[in-house]
Every structure is written in C-alpha cells, then in structure tokens.
Amino acid sequence: MNKRTGSSKARSGKKTPSSALIDLPVQKNEEYIADIVGLGYDGEGVGRVNGFTLFIPGALPGEQVRTKVIGLKKQFGFGKLLEVVETSPDRIAAPCPIYNQCGGCQLQHLSYEGQLRHKRQIVVDALERIGKLNVAGSSEDGIVVHPVSGMDNPWQYRNKAQVPIGEIDGGLVGGFYAQGSHRIIDMEACLIQHEDNDRVVSQVKAIARRLGIKPYNEETGHGELRHVIVKIGFRTSDIMVVLVTRQANFANKEQLVSEIREAVPGVKSICQNINAKLTNVIFGDHTDVLWGSDVIYDFIGDVKFAISARSFYQVNPVQTEVLYRTALNYAGLTGSETVIDAYCGIGTISLFLARQAGHVHGVEIVAEAIADARRNAELNDLHNVSFAVGKAEEVIPAWRAAGITADVIVVDPPRKGCEPELLETMIAMRPERIVYVSCNPATLARDLRILEDGGYRTVEVQPVDMFPHTVHIETVAGLCRKDS
C-alpha cells in the first residue's frame, strides 16, 4: 500500500483550479510514495498513488519513489522526483556530466538493454491500444513484433550537430537548450555526437569569440550568428560547416571563413544560411556557398549520397542501413516490380529499392530534396527511378488516374503519419505489399488499423533504435493483402 509522507497541512486555504481536484487522491505540493509501473512517451516514469497516475521525470519502472506533486489535471498529475526508495536494477549513472540540464537525451539513466525493452513495449502498446491490433504472444495469430535492433556501440552515432548560439555574461556560447526552455547550455562535447562534430563546433565557437562576432539574441532580434551546423560523412570523413546568420554581411565574415578552413582539416564545404526572421526555426530560405563544394558525400551501404546544407539525411548512418535493409526485405522485390516511395526525401529508400525493382516512383513535397534525389540517382547510375515534387496525397492519386499502378508501396511519413487521402489511394491501388516506415508508434498504429480495415494484414514489425538514449524509436511494418 502506498504511504503518504510529509506534513499534514490544512488545505482549507489552498486554491485549486477546479473544485473537482479537491476530491482527487493526491493534492498539489504534497509528498507521496509512488510505484512506477512504466515509462511515458517523453521518458518520464509513470507512477501510481492510490490508483492515480503521476508522471515523474527521472523515475524508472519497478521503482518506488518519493515525489512531490507539482501539477494536477482531473485524470493525472505531475510529480518531482525527490528520492528513489527502491531502485530498479536497470538504473545506471548517466555518463554525461550535463545530462540533468540538457534536454537532448532522456534515457541515459536507464541501461541500454532496458532502453531496448522499453522501446519495444512502446510499439506493442501502441499497436494494441491505439490500433486495436493483436500482437503475437497476446494472441495465437498476431503480429510479430521483433526485439529492437540496437547498436553495438550506442554512442557518438550522430553525423550532424545543430548548435544554437547565444550570449551569457557578454560571452558567446553554444550548446543545447536546457529542458523545456530556450536557455542555452554551453558545452564542448556531446556523448551521442561524432567526436569530429564536437571538435569542429568547438573550433568554430573559439574562432567566432576571438573575432568578436556577435551572437544572435532571440529576445531582441539583434546579433549575427544564430546556429552552427556541422555535417560529417561517416564513410568519407567529408565535413560541411553551415553558419546560420541574421544577415548576409557582418564584420569579419571573410576572416571567419579563412580561419575555419585553417582550423578544420577535411572541411569540404562552408555555407551560410540567412535567416532574418524573428523565429526559432533554424533555417532561412537562402543559402550561399562561402567556400568549397555545395555538397559533401556519404554512403549508406553501397549507395552514395550527396548531402547539401539543407537536405534531410538520417543522422545515424549505421542504423539507417539497418532500417532500409529491413524495408527492402519487407518489400520482397524480385526485379520486376513497380514501387511507389511516398515521402521519399533525397531518395535514400528509393535508391535502395531501385537496385532490386523494375521501376521506382518517388514523391516528396520539398523541391530541394527532389533535386538532391535526382542528383543521387545520377550519382549511382540508376535510371529506373523517377521523382516528382508535390504532396503524396495529391500526386499518387494523379498517378493512379494516369494508369500508374504499384506492386509495392513504401511510405515514410512525418510524425503526424499518412494523410487520409493517401491511405485511401493505397487501399484503392491494392498493391501486393505495403512497407510502412514510421518515427511515431502512435500514428503508425492508427494508420495500420485503417489499412487492416481496408484489406491488408500486418505481418511483422521491426523496431530499430536510431536514437539511443532518447525516447525516439523508428519502426518498419510489413503488410500484405489479405486476399494475396
């Protein structure tokens, strides 16, 4: 039984947002012992106190903790972790010295094996609760959800650093935002970044400080340097530096470029993106090449990619290969199929598919990404792939009206999932197989339910840990027509 701790203050003088909250089994600012029964989508512990749910950051499943209630809704509340009374065997000391300040990682205090189990459970829970789907193990004939594909070394896996620049006590700083704020935590090393990214960011910050380049102030809109972005090719060691500035010209701009060239061996490209808007969006609309090439190169498997300043490229190339090979396996290609790749980006999945398909049609709303996709097809001498700019939910129905049919459809939508019009068209096209790549288990489960009701069966699901030590999980689902 949970025991209440702390003083028994009279509550008659306390204000509550609603009279209904007075009848809750917990009250704001009081302390309680909570049993932690799971993890929430943001990595916080899901606690129970007298049957009431409290979300408690830092707590882990299987633990008993002392918590102070800091916020209440009618059906749940929020607690602050005060003490771990009974400790989970999966709890470890987070190796990052600023883990409790930085909002970049959420699960470093959970062992990597525990992270993988947790992420698989997130996928299973979404399929069962949101999609109302049967998972093997909970029914005789259910969807096989494989163990999460993890990394042998889940550190230094990121090939891109996006570092906001600001000012503290008159000095230029750059790092990551503190949890739930836009307060910049200055840092020189991040344990999930490739070490060359850390080195280059540190060098650029030091040069900018020495040259007196003014950091951008989000509140006033003054200053120049807003972000420093570094991209690195894991296989090629190519380095790109992107300087996001408020305006095109600023003091010591040429000297900054010159010193970056001298300080960063292997740099192939220095670009400037101009963002004059009062916004927290990183990129503006205009990008110039200040020195070198407009792209760097990298490989996923044996497919070569050109990466520009603004092009989307998966940040974990090791696990990206695992993800795409899984998608290719689920597509079941024999060499003659027509494949549609929705949300194709710069053509990463499309080019993997094209090597084993008859023809691949890719569609993407971002024109720059399609330009990169076409360049990447030429780079790999692939001529059985074509790309179109537009919304997948508009272009693919137009293709169908023009007589284009698909044996396999692959979708890799944003977090909000597929648009209803796209799902309707996929069902109407009746491809033999559908491969759904997802970064959001909740919208994946929702869309799988629609596809199942439309005549498809989800055969198996493979979660892939693209972002160790964070709450994020990528998933590949393989579906086939029920009458196939």
Q: Which residues 6+ apart lie within 8 Å of 237 measured at CB? A: 196, 266
Is 125 among the domain residues?
no
| CATH code (residue 20) | 2.40.50.140
Is 133 among the domain residues?
no
pLDDT of residue 180: 75
Q: What is the pLDDT of residues 16-65, one digit of tens each?
A: 455 556 689 999 999 999 999 999 888 999 999 999 999 999 999 999 99
From 273, 300, 327, give the residue that closes a domain.
300
Given a cut of 60, is residue 15 above it in pLDDT?
no
pLDDT of residue 16: 46
Confidence of residue 10 (pLDDT cuts 50, 70, 90): very low
- The encoded tokens of residue 75 equal 């059906």
Given a cut of 50, is residue 14 above it in pLDDT?
no
From 237, 271, 300, give the residue that closes a domain.
300
d(CA 272, CA 253): 10
Is 249 among the domain residues?
yes
- Note whether 364 and 471 are same-domain residues: yes
- Note whether 369 and 444 are same-domain residues: yes
Q: What is the pLDDT of residues 97-122, one digit of tens each?
A: 989 888 789 999 999 999 999 999 99
Q: Are strands 64-72 and 474-481 parallel, antiparallel or unpaired?
A: unpaired
Tell me which residue of 461, 432, 433 sits closest to 445, measured CA to CA: 461
pLDDT of residue 103: 78
pLDDT of residue 416: 96
Q: What is the pLDDT of residues 305-318, one digit of tens each?
A: 999 998 888 999 99
pLDDT of residue 173: 94
d(CA 431, CA 18): 52
Confidence of residue 13 (pLDDT cuts 50, 70, 90): very low
Is 143 among the domain residues?
no
Given a cut of 80, is residue 233 above it in pLDDT?
yes
- Note whether 375 and 442 are same-domain residues: yes
Confidence of residue 141 (pLDDT cuts 50, 70, 90): confident
pLDDT of residue 176: 86
Region 385-403: mean pLDDT is 94
Residue 283, domain extent? 160-300
| CATH code (residue 243) | 2.40.50.1070
CB atoms within 10 A of CB 406: 25
∠ Cα 73 74 78 (to 5°): 35
pTM of the model: 0.90
d(CA 390, CA 96): 42
Q: Which residues 6+ apart lie within 8 Å of 37 measured at CB? A: 46, 47, 48, 61
pLDDT of residue 53: 97
Is 140 among the domain residues?
no
- Note whether 344 and 383 are same-domain residues: yes
CB atoms within 10 A of CB 74: 11
- The encoded tokens of residue 94 equal 């987070």
**Catalytic residue ranges:** 439
Beta strands in 412-473 (DSSP E): 433-438, 456-464
pLDDT of residue 2: 41
pLDDT of residue 8: 34
pLDDT of residue 20: 59
d(CA 4, CA 2): 7
- Note whether 377 and 426 are same-domain residues: yes
Is 261 among the domain residues?
yes
Is 138 among the domain residues?
no
Tell me which residue of 117, 40, 111, 125 sits closest to 79, measured CA to CA: 40
- Note whether 272 and 334 are same-domain residues: no
- Note whether 242 and 341 are same-domain residues: no
Higher pLDDT, 221 or 438: 438
Specify the number of domains making up the chain. 3
Given a cut of 60, is residue 222 above it in pLDDT?
yes
- Note whether 294 and 335 are same-domain residues: no
From 68, 86, 104, give the residue that closes a domain.
86
- Note whether 295 and 323 are same-domain residues: no
Q: What is the pLDDT of residues 238-287, one digit of tens each?
A: 999 999 999 999 999 999 999 999 999 999 999 999 999 988 899 999 99
- Note whether 45 and 186 are same-domain residues: no
Tell me which residue of 120, 123, 124 sits closest to 147, measured CA to CA: 120
pLDDT of residue 102: 84
In a 3-state reduction of DSSP, which class is residue 341? strand
d(CA 66, CA 35): 9
pLDDT of residue 280: 85
Is 191 among the domain residues?
yes
- Note whether 334 and 474 are same-domain residues: yes
Q: Assign 3-class secondary structure to 288-331.
A: EEEEECCEEEEEECCEEEEEECCCCCCCCHHHHHHHHHHHHHHH
Given a cut of 80, is residue 231 above it in pLDDT?
yes
- Percent of the chain residues topping a pLDDT of 90: 85
∠ Cα 199 200 205 (to 5°): 100
- Note whether 282 and 360 are same-domain residues: no
